[in-house]
Amino acid sequence: MREQFHDQLRQVFIDLAGICRQVETAVARATQALMSGDAAIAEQVISADIEIDRAREHVEDSAFELLSLQQPVAGDLRTVVAALRMVSELERMGDLSVHVAKIARLRVPAIAVPEPARPTMSRMGLVAEDMVRRVADIITSRDVEAAIALGRDDEEMDQLRRTSFAELLADDWSAGVEAAIDIALLGRYYERIADHAVSVANRVVFVVTGEHPSAVG
């Protein structure tokens, strides 16, 4: 019975990593749509979000089944509860990618990101995508050191967010109020994707060690 339980639990984490890969694709495509003004790519991100939602429901069903039928305790209970929290955060990352895609779609045929902001916003998209990719690997490997390193590396996204604000508040900003609002929202969306990625990585640390990253690192 316990062997079956741990097989099912391993499958939950395989499914979590799969969702993370879907989110990685969503982030990449949303950024592509944003920087190119491609409405078709934006629509792909928006329509594919239902698959992430369904995958989340599947993980939740599996986790609740483990809780109700297996009645895990101690470390096993910690792992199941962490999985439920992780899948919620992964779904939110997918939703944030949809928000990015919707801004891209809203401004078609124009491109939402004006030229002065393009380098910073493009980099934010790449950093967010990289962090999601690394989280998928962390979920699969349960690599504590990699998880702690991800938290430390989040500083680049924070710095990019500050740079983005400085750009749109600069005296020479000429793209207008509408574009400034878009950039402010987009910066927040990418920053939140990164924050959720760090949170998921931190939960992996807690699953493996029973301690929060601050205590381990």
105-120: pLDDT as tens digits: 999 999 999 999 999 9
178-217: pLDDT as tens digits: 999 999 999 999 999 999 999 999 999 999 988 877 655 5
What per-residue string of b and e applies to 3-18 under the rule 16 or more CB within 10 Å gives b?
A: eebeebbeebbebbbb
Our count of domains for the chain comes to 1
In this structure, what CATH number is given to the domain that contains residue 94?
1.20.58.220
What pTM was computed for the model?
0.93
Q: By C-alpha distance, which of 126, 146, 124, 123 is closest to 135?
A: 146
141-156: pLDDT as tens digits: 999 999 999 988 899 9
For residue 177, pLDDT beyond 80: yes
Encoded tokens for 2: 């316990």
Range of the domain at 52: 2-216
Q: Write 46-52 long-range contacts (CB < 8 A, 24+).
A: 46/98, 46/101, 46/102, 46/105, 48/22, 49/94, 49/95, 49/97, 49/98, 51/22, 52/19, 52/22, 52/23, 52/26, 52/90, 52/91, 52/94
